[in-house]
C-alpha cells in the first residue's frame, strides 16, 4: 500500500492558474482532447503553446485589476467574455463559501509580462472542501505564424494567409475550477470555459463541466446531467448528446480502461455559428455550475461515513491524479520542459491520494457498483 500526501510534494495554491488548453488547467484540467482520436489535433498544439506562454512569467499584484484585457471597447466580445467569466468566478466562490460555512477564498491577482494577467482564488482547509480553486486568466501577445498555421486544419474558413516567420497577435481568456470535498459522499467537480482568437481571423470557444463521485447516487447524477441537458437543449438539441459523449471519451484513464468520473459535457473548437450565440451558450453553462453542483453537496455534506469509505475515496483520488499526470498533455509538457509554473500545473491534484496493489472492490459492494459505471458509461437523462 502506498499513501501519498500530494500537498507535501506540490504545495502552493497561490498565484496564477494560467490559460491552459486555451486556459483550462494549467491548473484545473487542460481541457485538451485526450479522448479517442488518433493524434492530437492541430488546435490542441496551438493551445499547448498558449498555455506555456501564459505560465512562464508574471508579476503578482496586490489587488485584482479592473480589466485584464487591453480592449477599450466595453461592448466587444473579448471584453464581455472577460466580464462574464469574472462574474462567474464571483458567483461560484460566493456559493462555495456559503456552502462550506467557514473557509474563505484567498485571492491572488497577477499580471503577465507579455500582456494580460489573471485572478486566482483558492480555498483550503474548509469544513466541506479540502481544496478548491477558481482561476481566471486573460492573456494576449504574439505567437509564431507556424503555430497558428497548424490550426488551419479546421479553422481555414476564418483565417487569412500568413507569412513564414510572421508573429500573430492572439487573445486567450478562460476560467477553470476544481473542487475536492472531504466527505466521500460529496463528488469532486471540475469546469472550464474559454475563448481564443487571433488577428488572422482564427477563433473558437471551448469548455465543459464534469462531475467525479466516488459513490453512486442516481438522483444526483440525473440532477447534474439534467441541468446541463436543459441548458444544451435550449441552444441546440444536438449539443447534449454530442458533448456528453465527448466528455465520456475525454476523461478516460486508458491504462485502467475506466473513466475518471461520471462525465458531464465537454466541447472544443466550437465556431460553427455566430460567436455571440456560442458566447450566450458558454455563459449559461457557467451560470449553471452552482445549481448543478451545490445542491448535491448540500445534500451530502453532513452524511456520516466510515474509514473504509474514506479509503475508497482516496483510491479514486489516486485515479484523478493518474489522469491529470499521465494523460493531460499540457501537464506533461510543463513537467518535461520545466517551463510551466509547478503550483499552477499541480493545482488540480487532490491533497491526499492513495494507491493499493491490485485492489478490487468487493463483489456486490457499492464500490463495485460505481466501478461498473466507470468501465461502461451510461446515459442519465
Q: Rounded CA gap, 251 and 196, in Å? A: 22
Q: Contact 59/111 with Cβ under 8 angstroms?
A: yes
Residue 243 DSSP one-character state:
H
Exposure string (b/e) for 250-280, b if CB count within 10 Å is 16 or more? Answer: bbbbeeeebbbbbbbbbbbbbbeeebeebbe
Lookup: cell for 26 = 494549467
Q: Which residue blocks in the chain are alpha helix, DSSP H?
A: 6-9, 42-55, 77-100, 145-150, 152-155, 218-235, 239-250, 275-287, 289-300, 307-322, 329-337, 342-345, 366-375
Q: CA 153 to CA 46: how far, in whole Å?
A: 11
Q: CA-CA distance, 117 to 138, in Å (whole number)?
A: 5
* 225 in active site: no
- Give the span between the Cα atoms of 91 and 93, in whole angstroms: 6
Could you tell me the three cell numbers for 278? 456560442
Q: Which of 58, 185, 190, 225 is catalytic?
A: 190
Residue 292: exposure state from Cβ atoms within 10 A (0-12, 13-18, ≥19)? buried
**What SS3 state is found at 359?**
coil
- The burial class, CB within 10 Å (0-12 / 13-18 / 19+), for 306 is exposed
Question: Which cell is 137 given?
Answer: 486568466
- Catalytic residue ranges: 190
Amino acid at each position: 500500500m502506498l499513501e501519498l500526501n500530494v500537498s507535501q510534494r506540490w504545495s502552493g495554491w497561490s498565484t496564477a492558474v494560467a490559460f491552459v488548453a486555451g486556459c483550462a488547467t494549467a491548473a484545473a484540467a487542460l481541457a485538451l482532447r485526450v479522448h479517442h482520436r488518433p493524434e492530437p489535433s492541430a488546435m490542441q498544439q496551438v493551445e499547448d503553446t498558449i498555455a506555456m506562454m501564459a505560465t512562464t512569467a508574471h508579476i503578482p499584484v496586490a489587488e485584482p485589476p479592473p480589466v485584464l484585457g487591453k480592449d477599450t471597447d466595453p461592448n466587444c466580445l473579448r471584453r464581455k467574455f472577460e466580464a462574464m467569466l469574472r462574474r462567474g468566478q464571483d458567483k461560484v466562490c460566493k456559493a462555495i463559501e456559503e456552502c462550506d460555512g467557514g473557509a474563505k477564498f484567498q485571492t491572488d491577482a497577477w499580471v503577465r509580462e507579455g500582456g494580460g494577467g489573471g485572478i486566482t482564488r483558492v480555498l483550503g482547509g474548509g469544513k466541506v472542501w479540502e481544496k478548491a480553486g477558481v482561476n481566471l486568466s486573460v492573456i494576449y501577445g504574439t505567437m509564431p505564424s507556424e503555430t497558428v498555421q497548424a490550426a488551419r486544419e479546421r479553422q481555414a474558413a476564418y483565417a487569412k494567409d500568413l507569412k513564414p516567420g510572421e508573429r500573430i497577435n492572439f487573445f486567450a481568456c478562460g476560467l477553470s475550477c476544481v473542487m475536492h470535498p472531504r466527505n466521500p459522499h460529496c463528488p469532486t467537480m471540475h469546469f472550464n470555459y474559454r475563448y481564443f482568437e487571433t488577428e488572422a481571423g482564427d477563433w473558437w470557444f471551448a469548455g465543459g463541466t464534469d462531475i467525479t463521485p466516488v459513490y453512486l447516487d442516481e438522483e444526483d447524477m440525473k440532477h447534474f446531467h439534467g441541468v446541463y441537458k436543459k441548458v444544451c437543449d435550449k441552444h441546440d438539441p444536438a449539443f447534449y448528446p454530442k458533448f456528453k459523449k465527448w466528455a465520456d471519451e475525454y476523461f478516460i484513464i486508458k491504462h485502467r480502461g475506466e473513466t475518471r468520473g461520471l462525465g458531464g459535457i465537454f466541447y472544443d473548437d466550437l465556431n460553427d455559428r455566430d460567436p455571440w450565440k456560442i458566447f450566450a451558450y458558454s455563459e449559461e453553462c457557467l451560470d449553471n455550475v452552482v445549481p448543478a453542483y451545490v445542491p448535491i453537496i448540500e445534500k451530502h455534506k453532513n452524511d456520516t461515513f466510515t474509514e473504509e469509505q474514506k479509503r475508497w475515496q482516496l483510491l479514486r483520488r489516486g485515479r484523478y491524479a493518474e489522469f491529470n499526470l499521465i494523460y493531460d498533455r499540457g501537464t506533461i509538457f510543463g513537467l518535461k520542459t520545466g517551463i510551466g509554473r509547478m503550483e499552477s500545473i499541480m493545482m488540480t491534484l487532490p491533497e491526499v491520494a492513495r494507491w493499493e496493489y491490485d485492489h478490487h472492490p468487493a463483489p456486490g459492494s457499492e464500490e463495485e457498483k460505481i466501478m461498473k459505471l466507470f468501465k461502461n458509461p451510461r446515459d442519465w437523462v
